[in-house]
Amino acid sequence: MRTLDFKDHRRVLGDNRYVYAVVSRRVGGLSIGINLNPDKACNFDCPYCQVDRTVPGGDRQIDLAVLSAELDALLAMVVAGDLWSHAPFDTAAPELRRVGDISFAGDGEPTAAPGFAAAVQAVVDVRARYDLEAVPLSLLTNATLFHLPKVVAGLDVLADAGGQIWAKLDAGTEGWFHRVDGTTMSFERVLSNIQWASERYPVLIQSMFHAFDGVGPTDTEVESWAGRLRDIVAGDGTLIGVQVYTVAREPADPSVTALSQERLAWIAERAMAQGVSAAVY
Ligand code: SF4
């Protein structure tokens, strides 16, 4: 569920299996990513996915000791100031030399990882060890597995630590959902999971819109998507807001192309017309 523009700087992070980082002006500091899917497995097959699956992934099991050690080592370097003498972090502006956020955003669906709840707890514990509880924590997810008790356990840990769920909702109809997310899963399952989560946890929606061979979602599709947002809120859900975005880099599927900023702005307006705050990213 890697949708943000993270890059792995292995020169300083060594051969990390789970923890990677980039300096981000948008988050105002170091944006730390936690990849719980080193095996690159995902229950979606989005044509816009940036994960290179032509190169095989690693072990599916999460080694919690290694995960904790990697995050611990990175935070120790940040706190001590050592990180900022290593390329590419040495070019970061002084005001960005801080931890900006920590996201579960990896090479697949994080909630599908074995030991998901324990992994979230491990990250929360290391963050607390450095008195960084104020650093925002988020989970980038496709919302397909919230109905599983073992996933709920992890969502509870995340929410108790002040974290947010950033749920993917790329469509308004089953047909477009199957196409843009490369799945035959039930759209109703995703909608009911987001509804359920939005009544219990802080939920932000991330929506990717793009074209296939120059043909993007129709106005009707976008209106359906906005209607889904309206239904969530009308059904007693609470949404932090919606991030609307398009493909930034060329995906593996050459038919996938970006929408214009004007079209994205119009899409965001459709959400706002339903009373949901939305912004283009
Ligand atoms: S949900 Fe889609 S974009 Fe995210 S990792 Fe899976 S296939 Fe890639």
Residue spans per domain, the chain: 1-155, 169-281
pLDDT at res. 11: 47
Q: From the centroid of its chain, how far is CA 60?
A: 19
24-27: long-range pairs with CB below 8 Å, 24+? 24/96, 24/100, 25/96, 27/100, 27/101, 27/136
CA 186 – CA 35 distance, rounded (Å): 26
Which atom, in ligand 1's list, is nearest to the CA of 106? 5
- Cβ of 35 below 6 Å from ligand 1: no
Across the chain, mean pLDDT equals 93
Q: Mean pLDDT over residues 179-204, rounded?
A: 98
Q: Does the beta carbon of 51 lie inside 6 Å of ligand 1?
A: yes
- Closest ligand 1 atom number to CA of residue 50: 8
Examine the pLDDT at 7 and tell me if it is beyond 50. Answer: no
- 256 within 8 A of 211, measured Cβ to Cβ: yes
In the predicted structure, residue 5 carries a pLDDT above the cut 60: no
Query: Given the CA of residue 107, which atom of ligand 1 is nearest to it?
Result: 5
The model's pLDDT over 124-181, given as tens digits with 9 standing for 90+, comes to: 999 999 999 999 999 999 999 999 999 999 999 999 999 999 999 999 999 999 999 9
Which amino acid makes up residue 123? V
Nearest C-alpha to atom 8 of ligand 1 is from which residue?
Answer: 49
pLDDT above 90 for 88? no
Q: Quick one: pLDDT at residue 66?
A: 97
Please give the full DSSP string across the chain, using - where no structure is assigned: ---S-----HHHHTT-SSEEEEEETTTTEEEEEE-S-TT---S---TT----TTS----SS--HHHHHHHHHHHHHHHHHTGGGGSTTGGGS-GGG-SEEEEEE--SS-GGGSTTHHHHHHHHHHHHHHTT-TTS-EEEEE-SSSTTSHHHHHHHHHHHHTT-EEEEE---SSHHHHHHHHT--S-HHHHHHHHHHHHTTS-EEEEEE-EEETTB---HHHHHHHHHHHHHHHHTT--EEEEEEE---S--SSTTEEEPPHHHHHHHHHHHHTTT--EEE-
**Ligand 1 near 52 CB (within 6 A):** no
Evaluate if residue 122 carries a pLDDT over 70.
yes
The residue-averaged pLDDT of 72-95 equals: 93
pLDDT over threshold 70, residue 43: yes
Does the Cβ of 141 fall within 6 Å of ligand 1? Answer: no
Q: Is the CB of 42 under 6 A from ligand 1?
A: yes
Q: Starting at the earlier edge strand, list the strands of the sheet with 164-168.
A: 19-24, 29-34, 99-104, 137-141, 164-168, 203-208, 239-245, 278-280
Q: How far is the CA of 251 from the centre of ligand 1 (A)?
A: 12
Q: Are 135 and 99 in contact (CB under 8 A)?
A: yes
Least confident span in 35-44, 218-227, 243-252: 243-252
What pLDDT shows up at residue 87?
87
Could you identify the atom of ligand 1 that is nearest to the CA of residue 208? 3
Q: For position 10, what pLDDT does the model report? A: 44
- Is pLDDT above 70 for 119? yes
Query: In this structure, are residues 137 and 157 in contact, taking their beta carbons and an 8 Å threshold?
Result: no
Give me the CATH code for the 169-281 domain, please. Answer: 3.20.20.70
Instruction: Name the pLDDT band for 12 (thresholds 50, 70, 90).
Output: low
What Rg, from alpha-carbon coordinates, does the chain have? 18
How much of the chain exceeds pLDDT 70, in percent? 95
Q: Would you say the CB of residue 18 lies under 6 angstroms from ligand 1? A: no
Distance CA(275)–CA(265), nearest Å, equals 15
- Cβ of 256 closer than 6 Å to ligand 1, yes or no, is no
Q: Which of 173-182, 245-254, 266-275 is predicted least confidently?
A: 245-254
| Cα–Cα dist 32/67, whole Å | 13
Nearest in space to 229 (alpha carbons), one of 181, 270, 264: 270
pLDDT tens profile 93-110: 999 999 999 999 989 999
Amino acid present at 256: V
The pLDDT value given to residue 1: 54
**Residue 250 pLDDT > 80:** no
Q: Is 49 in the pocket of ligand 1 (CB under 6 A)?
A: yes
